[in-house]
Amino acid sequence: MKRALTSLLVSAILSLAALGAVVDGQWSAEGSAKTAPKKLSIHVNQNSLSGTMDGMAITRSGVDGGFFWFYVVRNGADFLYKGQIKGGKIELRESGPHVHRTLTFTRVQ
Amino acid sequence: MRFQAVITTALVVVVAVAIPGQANAQNPPAGAIFDLATAHPAAFSASAYTQFTTSFVASATSEYVSFAFREVPAYFSFDDASVTQQGSSTNLLQDPGFESDTAANVGTNFPVGWGRWIQPVDTTAIGVVASGNTGDCASSGPHTGSYFWCDGSVQGYDGLYQQFNGLTVGATYTITFWLTDNSGDPMSNPQIDMLVYAGPALPTGTQTIGTPPAPILVTTPVPGTVWLMLLGIGALGLYLLFRRWNAPRIGGIKT
């Protein structure tokens, strides 16, 4: 009983902290697409995010379960990014005017 | 005993802290007649559409049928829907496959013939008309034809709907549609889910956007027995006409 309760508590605490701990930090884009964003700095604040993408501030954002999303204004247009952690990397779906692609970011050591 | 009390208290604290963290988890409106996360909990293959079926019994002569979407990490593709009265094959939906749309309204939130609603929290990233293998739903494309609905609503649920007038109270109506998802993740309410609603009003807590299309006036399908009766009456009429035409004439006048 003791062991079950302890493991329940530990897993609850871990899952609480999980997304923030995993996502927070500096990230760098894989690949060399010219128009793709290169650098991502991100911080989870409970149910929203703060940070920058190539120096441009995140405007609106949300965190929901293991997923997060945010907007950045790039070249004067609103771009939506939908993200999640997969295999220790951030997989981001980028959606903007005439741009719809999936980007991968690795943590900057 | 004391240990259990301490652990239980700690769990309560953890849950209390966790709940505000989930404040963005926008639950769907109540009263759905179909929940994808229950019907198909597994992940989809983006290029393979699956057909789903549900039904409702009309409780009023005027009802709304809505298809609602929320997809935080990716996008749903929706196409070729139908609403039919049991015993009839007539699809009551207007433009069920989005083929009345044009290149001009691709990327807009307003498909021809459909109404739109959103949850008030849902102010961005609502669904759009899509075409071919382009845009956020490029990996699926349409199920058939050229156009379809691509929905990756992130903040709340948004819905497509049509209103029907002239339904038969007590009659069963079958709803079908084709759907796929390109997240590669299992369905989960409320983050990745699609729901169907049917009822005399739009789902509670939603607000319409744009100009709602005119309700569709449903004409009750004529049952087979009535068609047979009409055919019999027609045949009898023809027979009587034939008899009259061939009747013997007296003084050149037909009797």
Asked if the structure places residue B5 within a domain, the reply is no
Query: Same domain, yes or no, for B145 and B174?
Result: yes
| Chain A nearest C-alpha distance from B84 (Å) | 36
Number of domains in chain A: 1
- For residue A88, the enclosing domain spans 2-107
- Computed over every residue of chain A, the mean pLDDT equals 86
Bigger pLDDT: B3 or B248?
B248
Compute φ and ψ for B214, nearest 5 degrees: -65, 145
Residue of A nearest to B136 (CA): A100
Task: Tell me the residues of A at the B interface, defined by beta carbons under 8 Å apart.
Answer: 1-2, 5-6, 8-9, 12-13, 16, 46-48, 60, 62-65, 67, 69, 71, 80, 82-84, 93, 95, 100
| Chain A nearest C-alpha distance from B174 (Å) | 33
Do the Cβ atoms of B154 and A9 come within 8 Å? Answer: no
Bigger pLDDT: B174 or B23?
B174
Residue of A nearest to B70 (CA): A64
Do the Cβ atoms of B14 and A62 come within 8 Å? Answer: no
Query: Same domain, yes or no, for B42 and B128?
Result: yes
Report which listed range, B10-24, B149-163, B218-232, B239-253, is most confident. B149-163
| Chain A nearest C-alpha distance from B64 (Å) | 30
Whole-angstrom distance, CA of residue B110 vs CA of residue B108: 6
Judge whether residue A42 has pLDDT over 60: yes
Do the Cβ atoms of A5 and B8 come within 8 Å? Answer: yes
pLDDT at B110: 93
pLDDT at B124: 72
Asked if the structure places residue B37 within a domain, the reply is yes
Compute φ and ψ for A11, nearest 5 degrees: -65, -35
Q: Domain of A52: which CATH number?
A: 2.40.128
Whole-angstrom distance, CA of residue B219 vs CA of residue A2: 66
pLDDT at B231: 77
Asked if the structure places residue B9 within a domain, the reply is no
| Chain A nearest C-alpha distance from B11 (Å) | 6
Query: Same domain, yes or no, for B87 and B162?
Result: yes
Residue of B nearest to A90 (CA): B73
Do the Cβ atoms of A5 and B188 come within 8 Å? Answer: no
Judge whether residue A14 has pLDDT over 70: no
Query: Same domain, yes or no, for B210 and B233?
Result: no
Query: Same domain, yes or no, for B106 and B201?
Result: yes
Asked if the structure places residue B14 within a domain, the reply is no
Whole-angstrom distance, CA of residue A75 vs CA of residue A98: 13
| Chain A nearest C-alpha distance from B97 (Å) | 23
**Bridge partners for B193 per DSSP:** B70
Whole-angstrom distance, CA of residue B232 vs CA of residue B255: 25
CB nearest to B24's CB, from A8, A47, A95? A47
Q: Which two tokens stand for residue A83?
A: 């993200």
Whole-angstrom distance, CA of residue B255 vs CA of residue B251: 10
Asked if the structure places residue B3 within a domain, the reply is no
Do the Cβ atoms of B21 and A5 come within 8 Å? Answer: no
Query: Same domain, yes or no, for B180 and B244?
Result: no
Number of domains in chain B: 2
pLDDT at B3: 54
Query: Same domain, yes or no, for B131 and B146?
Result: yes
Query: Same domain, yes or no, for B234 and B204?
Result: no
pLDDT (mean) for B207-212 = 92
Do the Cβ atoms of B136 and A5 come within 8 Å? Answer: no
Residue of B nearest to A81 (CA): B73
pLDDT at B225: 64
What is the reported pTM? 0.81
Query: Same domain, yes or no, for B56 and B95?
Result: yes
Query: Same domain, yes or no, for B239 and B204?
Result: no
Query: Same domain, yes or no, for B114 and B229?
Result: no
Asked if the structure places residue B194 within a domain, the reply is yes
Query: Same domain, yes or no, for B169 and B98?
Result: yes
Q: How many CB atoms lie within 10 A of CB B21?
A: 18
ipTM: 0.83
CB nearest to B14's CB, from A6, A13, A71? A13
* A-chain residues near B185 (CB < 8 A): 84
- For residue B242, the enclosing domain spans 224-254
Q: Which residues contact B136 (CB under 8 A, 6 or more apart)?
A: A93, A95, A100, B74, B75, B130, B150, B152
CB nearest to A64's CB, from B136, B185, B191? B191
